[in-house]
């Protein structure tokens, strides 16, 4: 994928990609219809939050973008590359340009922080080098820079399992950054963190979006975090988009549309900083 | 605070009294049936046991009087046994790494290759170690080599089965992260799954070493080298005082190996 490789600028920061979903539906093998005809366009460099009740299809939506969940019908286009139908090497190459972070951090707990961050280099490393445990000096340097950018450099040799939740999520962000991604996906990145840590991690993501001009998509439960850190909000309900507009000006009626009831104080995390 | 006690209404606990009774009855029937010689069950000759009691008691008596002057002659065979045990466990440990990765679902999503490896391992495990040893003695001749190969095969079976099952029983969220980063399965296995699972491996490797010392002691009986051969020879001469020394020695060595292995294991996190 030479076209994709050429999007990396000399300074190591990738150019952002746009995302287009055209009438995307996902039906899981057990028959669950998780997405029904979802269409949306996300501009390169935008930061968008996706909200919705549990089971509304947020995780499914975000996973169709890097092909972890294949779209059953419709088209998913990321940075000019059609994800639908890609497999094998081509899919892995594309994923190399899409960073992802998870609610449960998904680190290998028994190995070092550095090894975890180097996972971000998989798509850019020949398999035999990984198998022989050979890390290029450039990759290591990049991993250290990414750790430094989330303030975790001093933990580089720590076991990932020995970190706190917030520290783990930062390492996971460093791992995704280490891919030099053009898109960053985040599936409820702060759902298992306390309020101050949640704000810190959201702040990191907003900063990455601003500094690196990276397209960022975040699934999130807390309305106030969605409003505070993103300008655009997409509301999902039963696998369909029921709101797509500015996060700040969403009305109570819009919330009722998304959550099936008026917004309540417990939907907010509060400014517990 | 009001302490008015409203009665808690618990949902009825599901009971399977009939099923339990049926299982117990079936087990009892089966046990009784297997002891009825008329229908091919084992014959329990209690009278014979009583008659031969004196005989056994004599031998026990001899066993209780070990002749320690025999000890020096046991050293070389014992070292041979230990060498067999350690080398077998080490070779098996090396072979078990890729085989286990092929046999476990998280490290090998391909059903076909997974089932093939599992099938071979299951066949390997179905063959009793003494049978392996006997066949191998016939093939490569009496000595340490058939014992070594037997232990290797036995250990590979144990380690691959237990570790691949342990890997399947554990959570591997990081695999999704590796896939999302565009990694191949082998990259994910090498860089994250192996470091994550190596204590599982190490535990079983040590365990297989423990088993080896015990097994290799009897492998000698079919000609596969080591202390077992000496044991068989002395038993053939009815030299129960020497047999007793060998048994005690095996006991001590097994205990020492187990002690070391437990110490090492407690250090694994
Ligand atoms: N692997 C799967 N197999 C079958 N059904 C699934 C699978 N993953 C999700 N689903 C179903 O698809 C629907 C949408 O799930 P999804 O995980 O996308 O929701 P979500 O909005 O992320 O929920 P949450 O907020 O709880 O994470 C749910 O009904 C869920 O049960
Ligand atoms: Mg989800």
**Closest to A111 (Cα-Cα) out of B201, B199, B264, B205:** B199
What pLDDT score was predicted for residue B185?
92
Residue A67 contacts residue A95 (beta carbons within 8 Å): yes
Tell me the shortest Cα–Cα distance from B200 to chain A, in angstroms: 12
Total tally of structural domains belonging to chain A: 1
pLDDT at A113: 92
Please identify, by atom number, the ligand 1 atom nearest to the C-alpha of residue A69.
1
Asked if the structure places residue A187 within a domain, the reply is: no
Contact call for B192 and A66, based on CB within 8 A = no
Confirm whether B14 is domain-assigned.
no
Taking CA atoms only, the protein residue closest to ligand 1 atom 17 is A59
In a domain, B238, yes or no: yes
> Three-state DSSP class for A72?
coil
The predicted pLDDT at position B269 comes to 62
On whether residue B9 sits in a domain, the answer given is no
**What value does the mean pLDDT of chain A take?**
84
Query: Residue B20 domain-assigned?
Result: no
Domain annotation covers residue A268: no
Average pLDDT of chain B, as a whole number? 86
pLDDT in tens, B62-106: 777 777 787 888 888 888 888 888 899 999 999 999 999 999 999
Contact yes or no for B191 and A118 at CB 8 A:
yes
In a domain, A207, yes or no: no
Structural domain harbouring A91 = 15-95+226-261
- How many Cβ atoms from other residues are within 10 Å of residue B29's Cβ? 10
Has residue B250 been placed in a domain?
A: yes
CA distance B88 to chain A (A): 25
Neighbours of A21 (CB within 10 A): 23
pLDDT at A263: 66
Residues of A in contact with B181 (CB under 8 A): 95-96, 99-100, 119-123, 175-176, 179
The answer to whether position A64 is within a domain reads yes
CATH number, domain at B97? 1.10.3720.10
Sign of the dihedral defined by the CA atoms of residues A238, A215, B184, A90, in that order: positive
Query: Listing from the earlier edge strand, what are the strands of the sheet with A19-27?
Result: A33-42, A19-27, A73-78, A81-82
State the best of B107, B182, B188 to mutate against chain A, taking most chain A CBs within 10 Å.
B182
Is pLDDT above 90 for B117? Answer: yes
Q: What's this model's pTM, rounded to 2 decimal places? A: 0.80
Considering the domain boundaries, does residue A171 fall inside one? Answer: no
- Nearest chain B Cα to A177, which residue? B181
pLDDT digits (tens, 9 = 90+) for B159-211: 999 999 999 998 899 999 999 999 999 999 999 999 999 888 988 898 898 88
Asked if residue A254 belongs to a domain, the reply is: yes
- The residues pairing with A41 across neighbouring beta strands, listed in sequence order, are A20
Whether B19 is in a domain gets the answer: no
**Domains contained in chain B, number:** 1
What region, left, alpha or beta, does residue A250 occupy, with left being phi > 0 and alpha being psi -120 to 50 degrees? beta
Rounded to the nearest angstrom, the minimum Cα separation between B174 and chain A is: 4
Within a domain: B198: yes
- For ligand 1, atom 24: residue with the closest CA: A54
Model pLDDT, residue B118: 93
Which CATH number characterizes residue A61's domain?
3.40.50.300
3 state DSSP class of B5:
coil
Residues of chain A whose pLDDT is less than 50?
Answer: 1-11, 271-273
Identify the domain containing residue B138 by its residue range: 68-268
Report the nearest atom of ligand 1 relative to the CA of A26: 12
């Amino acid at each position: 994928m030479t076209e994709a490789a050429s999007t990396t600028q000399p300074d190591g920061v990738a150019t952002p990609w746009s995302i287009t979903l055209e009438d995307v539906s996902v039906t899981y093998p057990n028959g669950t219809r998780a997405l029904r005809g979802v269409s949306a366009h996300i501009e390169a460099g935008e930061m968008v939050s996706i909200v919705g009740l549990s089971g509304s299809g947020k995780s499914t939506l975000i996973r169709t973008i890097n092909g972890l969940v294949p779209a059953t019908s419709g088209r998913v286009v990321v940075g000019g590359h059609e994800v639908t139908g890609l497999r094998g090497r081509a899919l892995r190459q594309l994923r190399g340009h899409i960073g992802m972070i998870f609610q449960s951090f998904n680190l290998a707990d028994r190995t070092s922080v550095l090894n975890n961050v180097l996972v971000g280099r998989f798509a850019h490393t020949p398999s035999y080098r990984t198998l022989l445990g050979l890390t290029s000096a450039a990759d290591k340097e990049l991993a250290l820079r990414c750790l430094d950018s989330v303030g975790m450099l001093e933990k580089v040799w720590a076991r990932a399992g020995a970190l706190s939740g917030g520290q783990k999520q930062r390492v996971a962000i460093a791992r995704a950054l280490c891919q030099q991604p053009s898109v960053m996906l985040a599936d409820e990145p702060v759902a298992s963190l306390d309020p101050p840590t949640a704000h810190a991690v959201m702040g990191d993501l907003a900063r990455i979006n601003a500094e690196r001009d990276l397209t960022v998509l975040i699934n999130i439960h807390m309305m106030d975090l969605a409003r505070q850190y993103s300008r655009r909000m997409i509301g999902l309900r039963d696998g369909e988009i029921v709101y797509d507009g500015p996060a700040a000006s969403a009305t109570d009626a819009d919330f009722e549309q998304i959550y099936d009831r008026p917004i309540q104080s417990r939907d907010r995390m509060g400014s517990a900083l | 605070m009001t302490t008015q006690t409203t009665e808690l209404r618990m949902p009825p606990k599901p009971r399977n009294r009939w099923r339990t009774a049926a299982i117990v009855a079936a087990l009892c029937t089966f046990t009784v049936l297997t002891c009825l010689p008329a229908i091919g069950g084992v014959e329990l000759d209690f009278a014979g046991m009583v008659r031969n009691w004196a005989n056994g008691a004599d031998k026990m008596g001899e066993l209780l009087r070990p002749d320690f002057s025999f000890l020096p002659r046991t050293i070389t065979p014992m070292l041979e046994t230990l060498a067999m045990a350690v080398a077998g466990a080490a070779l098996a440990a090396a072979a078990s790494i890729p085989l286990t990765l092929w046999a476990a679902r998280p490290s090998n999503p391909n059903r076909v290759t997974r089932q093939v490896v599992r099938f071979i391992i299951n066949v390997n495990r179905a063959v009793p170690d003494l049978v392996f040893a006997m066949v191998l003695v016939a093939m490569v001749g009496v000595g340490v080599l058939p014992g070594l190969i037997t232990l290797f095969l036995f250990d590979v079976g144990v380690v691959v089965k237990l570790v691949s099952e342990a890997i399947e029983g554990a959570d591997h969220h990081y695999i999704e992260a590796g896939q999302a980063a565009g990694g191949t399965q082998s990259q994910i296995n090498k860089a994250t799954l192996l470091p994550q699972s190596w204590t599982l491996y190490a535990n079983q490797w040590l365990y297989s070493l423990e088993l080896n010392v015990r097994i290799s002691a009897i492998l000698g009986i079919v000609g596969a080298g080591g202390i077992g051969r000496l044991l068989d020879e002395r038993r053939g001469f009815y030299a129960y005082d020497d047999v007793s020394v060998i048994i005690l020695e095996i006991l001590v060595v097994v205990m020492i190996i187990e002690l070391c292995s437990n110490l090492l294991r407690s250090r694994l996190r």
